[in-house]
């Protein structure tokens, strides 16, 4: 039996702001609403279900595998919004991208402090 991730819940201080941020920065279709969630659909039948947090948001990490063209488009939107980005998960290489495994990658934070990442090659593959 194959197991596939269907969705994960993303806590947010403002669910609508967060869903709209993700949709805008990643270039996705508008989020839908399902119960208390704003559903951000990704291209591989997985969704990020954004929910309003009742308390403090606990920072998580979300990584997105994108094409080279999508990387350029997302990176352009990050720069247009003047968002800080880094080449590494520890945020030591500010304003840089990485070229791990022959691809490109970068990290930035969403409005809740979640660490977002785009990569063009999965880690561990040569």
Residue pair 107/59 in contact by the 8 Å Cβ criterion? no
Q: What residue spans define the domains of the chain?
A: 7-119
pLDDT score for 126: 59
Assign 3-class secondary structure to 12-34: ECCHHHHHHHHHHHHCCCCCEEE
The band of 98, judged by pLDDT with boundaries at 50, 70 and 90, is very high
Assess whether pLDDT exceeds 80 at residue 52.
Answer: yes
Q: What is the pTM of this model?
A: 0.93
For residue range 58-88, list pLDDT tens digits in order.
Answer: 999 999 999 999 999 999 999 999 999 999 9
Report the C-alpha gap between 119 and 72 in whole angstroms.
11
In our burial notation (b when 16+ CB lie closer than 10 A, e otherwise), range 93-111 reads eeeebbebeebbbbbbebe
Q: Which CATH superfamily hosts domain 7-119?
A: 2,3-Dihydroxybiphenyl 1,2-Dioxygenase, domain 1 (3.10.180.10)
Residue pair 111/17 in contact by the 8 Å Cβ criterion? yes
């Amino acid at each position: 039996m194959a197991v596939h991730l269907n969705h994960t819940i993303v806590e947010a201080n403002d669910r609508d702001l967060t869903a709209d941020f993700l949709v805008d920065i990643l270039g996705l279709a508008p989020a839908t609403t399902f119960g208390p969630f704003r559903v951000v659909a990704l291209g591989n039948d997985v969704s990020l279900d954004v929910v309003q947090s009742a308390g403090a948001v606990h920072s998580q990490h979300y990584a997105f595998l994108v094409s080279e063209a999508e990387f350029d488009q997302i990176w352009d939107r990050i720069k247009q919004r003047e968002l800080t980005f880094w080449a590494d998960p520890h945020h030591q290489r500010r304003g840089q991208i990485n070229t791990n495994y022959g691809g490109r990658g970068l990290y930035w934070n969403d409005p809740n402090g979640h660490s977002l990442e785009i990569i063009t090659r999965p880690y561990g593959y040569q």
